[in-house]
Structure 1
């Protein structure tokens, strides 16, 4: 193919693509909006790289996501014991669920999730130019989103994640292109994201400001007297917001990055409500013993049966090993006296010990969890499911026990 033919092909690939050019502090940013699962977006990245010369390439990726693209097999080294002990089981499960949303789309058209980001990364390596990873860590974004909404709205978050697993409707490629009007995380949480201002701020608006500040930060580190030209590849849902911030931001970029990268402190009121409930229940049990030893023994038995029983049901629903079910039953009633790892964590660690995940489970994990049944057949996924269901069962059991014990005393 001649140089002229290549130019014409590149121009065709860029036709209609959302591209903006922003001048800031002597730097020209060519910002390309993409859909994260789209052949057209991959071709647009390749066309820009073929037709223009860049001094740096920036992508909407954080370190962990970029590492996952560079080494897709890295998650096989995951230590489930450490994930559970460090309280990261929920975050790992959420990240896996989000990956199923991408893979479900990608499997229909043979385009790997984030292929346009991979094309930009490969382009930076081939041209020996700096690669800037400008997005906020996905774990931080999810935590800020979780803490930004109220108790009941969090069910919407969970519902959005679960819907992305169970949804099986075939999506037309034209609809995939419409993802250029949104964002991957926003799409995964469906309409809930657009209807919740705090959630939208955490998933979209904050990241717009963060990525604009990261661009300025990186440009300040690398640019001296000479202006440079930077290709920025982002989801098109961020195009307008990022470009606006890039034009008007005045605060020191490092301060903006540090502020938006902070993990919000855990809200204390759910903890105090839970502590208050437990204290109330045990006060009721103490009162029952004061009234009558048999009545007190019955109240204590109810506490064990309700908390242990619902936790065990959670493990049973996850098809856990019998020892994991027994561990859930034992750990849940003594939770108030055993701060640290929750009952779900103890049951999950027993599950890992009793049914140690095989290499094949890690190798097939992402493929298995695309289908809901895979959460029960893959040992890695089942361990995470066990953790979640036992934790939920323990909470339900505590409220059910409290209601039953108080009712028996009235």
Structure 2
């Protein structure tokens, strides 16, 4: 058994065995099963939350997805991020014939088989993503989106040996250092916070002898936090890590700055050069904003009515930040091309290829939502200097 993937920690009368895994590794699955059977613990902890475990064990889970409801609740980008992250892991898993997170599922199945209590110790993924997004500034959000999109469509392949090397501590240290330098706020939320959260939940699960199955990247951090908890240097209350950071004043105001600036330019055009110039400015903005939103929907191969709604809805959405053009176009797409049961059943496979994303009505509606939003935003940024140019003529 590799010392790099297993730690036996003695904390007073409690023994905790940490197993570090790669989430698409066949060896990790075998190791998890063997350690639990050989060590006979009285508690098994896994790095899963209730939502992810349900999605892994209930095939019909995706069939319950209401895309229109997702858009109306403002969770479109959250669902896209979830799908992109699972797409990357699933593509690696397909190359190796292993489903992402199968070692976690194996731990639960073995625990059930042996009659051992188990605990799902990870934080809900939606909370993790929303905290990561909330702590990012504008530039970091752009980098995060670029990173997510590049990982979704990358064609780079990893060999089984490279996957197994993900469990090597020196390799992981280098990866975490690189992530910290690229996006320190995201690294803090995805890694550091979850180290503490996992450790607290593992400790709270109890058991004189327990096995905890976690990603190899969490091994060192979880061990340190467990030792601090056992020594009384750190509390077990991690409720603060479940709270979504409030939006800053600047973030709240940002949604109003662009529409107010556009309206101010058009009004200034009226007082400075008359109704004709003001009308020309209004038409130019509507064309730029609406056309690029419609172009985004067209690139997503959206329904003709979705394209029309994007064009007409983008200016309305700009003036009223409480309404997003992506919401209007996404709901229209999901209404005109209602997702089928087969789309829900195949979504896990379809998200691994561009062709599958366009074929699947759920992911296509999300693509319409994203690209129309992006197009409308670009249209607004372009229109500001364009309107200012008309004003100074």
TM-score for the superposition, normalised by structure 2: 0.93
Once the two structures are superposed, the pairs formed by residues 9-408 of structure 1 within 5 Å of their partners are: 14-16=1-3, 18-24=5-11, 26-181=13-168, 191-193=178-180, 195-219=182-206, 228-249=208-229, 250-254=233-237, 257-290=238-271, 291-408=273-390
Question: What's the RMSD between the two structures over aligned residues?
Answer: 2.3
Residues in 2 aligned to 1:186 and 1:396: alpha-carbon distance in whole angstroms: 38
**In 2, are the aligned partners of 1:33 and 1:239 still within 8 Å (CA)?**
yes
Q: Provide closer, same or farther for how the CA distance between residues 402 and 104 of structure 1 changes in structure 2, counting only shifts above 3 A.
A: same
TM-fit CA distance, 1:20: 1.1
**In 1, are the aligned partners of 2:55 and 2:61 still within 8 Å (CA)?**
yes
TM-fit CA distance, 1:167: 1.8
Residues in 1 aligned to 2:176 and 2:72: alpha-carbon distance in whole angstroms: 28
SS in structure 2 of the partner of residue 396 of structure 1: helix
Q: Provide closer, same or farther for how the CA distance between residues 206 and 181 of structure 1 changes in structure 2, counting only shifts above 3 A.
A: farther
Q: Provide closer, same or farther for how the CA distance between residues 188 and 245 of structure 1 changes in structure 2, counting only shifts above 3 A.
A: closer
TM-fit CA distance, 1:210: 0.8
TM-score for the superposition, normalised by structure 1: 0.89
SS in structure 1 of the partner of residue 137 of structure 2: coil
Residues in 2 aligned to 1:365 and 1:187: alpha-carbon distance in whole angstroms: 33
SS in structure 1 of the partner of residue 138 of structure 2: coil
Q: Provide closer, same or farther for how the CA distance between residues 179 and 268 of structure 1 changes in structure 2, counting only shifts above 3 A.
A: farther
Q: Provide closer, same or farther for how the CA distance between residues 200 and 357 of structure 1 changes in structure 2, counting only shifts above 3 A.
A: same
SS in structure 1 of the partner of residue 212 of structure 2: strand
Residues in 2 aligned to 1:85 and 1:181: alpha-carbon distance in whole angstroms: 43
**In 2, are the aligned partners of 1:186 and 1:194 still within 8 Å (CA)?**
no
Residues in 2 aligned to 1:65 and 1:186: alpha-carbon distance in whole angstroms: 26
SS in structure 2 of the partner of residue 230 of structure 1: strand
TM-fit CA distance, 1:276: 2.3
- The alignment covers a number of residue pairs equal to 387
**In 2, are the aligned partners of 1:186 and 1:204 still within 8 Å (CA)?**
no
TM-fit CA distance, 1:187: 11
SS in structure 2 of the partner of residue 29 of structure 1: strand
Which deviates more from structure 2 when the two are superposed, residues 34-43 or residues 187-196?
Answer: 187-196
Residues in 2 aligned to 1:140 and 1:358: alpha-carbon distance in whole angstroms: 28
**In 2, are the aligned partners of 1:20 and 1:32 still within 8 Å (CA)?**
yes
**In 2, are the aligned partners of 1:308 and 1:329 still within 8 Å (CA)?**
yes
**In 2, are the aligned partners of 1:161 and 1:189 still within 8 Å (CA)?**
no
TM-fit CA distance, 1:339: 4.5
SS in structure 1 of the partner of residue 20 of structure 2: strand
**In 2, are the aligned partners of 1:85 and 1:341 still within 8 Å (CA)?**
no
TM-fit CA distance, 1:336: 4.2
Q: Provide closer, same or farther for how the CA distance between residues 276 and 109 of structure 1 changes in structure 2, counting only shifts above 3 A.
A: closer
Q: Provide closer, same or farther for how the CA distance between residues 134 and 25 of structure 1 changes in structure 2, counting only shifts above 3 A.
A: farther
Residues in 2 aligned to 1:360 and 1:186: alpha-carbon distance in whole angstroms: 41
Which deviates more from structure 2 when the two are superposed, residues 134-143 or residues 16-25?
Answer: 16-25
SS in structure 2 of the partner of residue 298 of structure 1: helix
